[in-house]
């Protein structure tokens, strides 16, 4: 079983309401059992929702939406729900949407909402990595 960002298989759960359908991941469904999830929806956020990015505040990673609201708690709740699912199902690998404040791997928005990326991982990605689950960025998977 492989965890996958639900937007990558065409589910409309992206922050602005669409999806990130990735044909190569649909092909993977023919040979692997995929478990689609959206950490932000599992954290209680609606679709669509205001965009959010990670900022470092007093040495801690916090998530703020474009309106300046601290939404860290919801992001952490969604990530924890997914980690629990992975542990219960024995999932050891995830393919997650690059750039996302939940799922980003290696690079995420820098908190300025200007499209500038900075090194780091999304909230879910970091939680999975900290618990020994391999994460593959959707960009790396497609290449």
Q: Which residues contact 13 (CB under 8 A, 6 or more apart)?
A: 6, 7, 19, 38, 40, 41, 47
Is residue 24 very low, low, confident or very high in pLDDT (cuts 50, 70, 90)? Answer: very high
pLDDT of residue 142: 78
pLDDT of residue 29: 94
Long-range CB pairs of 55-61, under 8 A, 24+ apart, other chains included: 55/110, 55/111, 56/111, 61/120, 61/123, 61/126
Per-residue pLDDT for 143 more than 80? no
pLDDT of residue 90: 98
Distance CA 102, CA 104 (A): 6
Domain ranges of the chain: 2-49+74-105+121-142
pLDDT of residue 43: 98
**pLDDT tens-digit series, residues 62-84:** 999 999 999 999 999 999 999 99
Distance CA 41, CA 47 (A): 7
What mean pLDDT, rounded, does the chain reach?
Answer: 96
Give the tokens for residue 129.
Answer: 């990595």
Give the tokens for residue 136.
Answer: 């593959």
Torsion, Cα 125 129 135 140, to 10 degrees, reads 80
Give the tokens for residue 9.
Answer: 């298989």
Distance CA 141, CA 95 (A): 7
Per-residue pLDDT for 44 more than 90? yes
Per-residue pLDDT for 20 more than 90? yes
Q: Which residues contact 119 (CB under 8 A, 6 or more apart)?
A: 106, 107
Per-residue pLDDT for 92 more than 90? yes
């Amino acid at each position: 079983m492989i965890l996958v960002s639900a937007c990558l298989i065409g589910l409309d759960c992206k922050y602005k309401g669409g999806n990130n359908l990735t044909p190569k991941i649909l092909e993977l469904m023919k040979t692997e059992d995929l478990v689609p999830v959206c950490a932000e929806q599992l954290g209680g956020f609606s679709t669509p929702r205001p965009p959010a990015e990670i900022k470092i505040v007093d040495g801690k990673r916090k998530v703020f939406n474009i309106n300046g609201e601290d939404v860290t708690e919801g992001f952490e709740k969604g990530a924890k729900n997914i980690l629990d699912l992975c542990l219960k199902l024995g999932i050891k690998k995830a393919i997650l949407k690059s750039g996302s404040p939940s799922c980003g791997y290696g690079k995420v928005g820098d908190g300025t909402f200007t499209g500038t990326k900075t090194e780091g991982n999304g909230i879910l990605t970091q939680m999975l990595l900290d618990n020994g689950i391999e994460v593959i960025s959707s960009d790396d998977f497609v290449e």
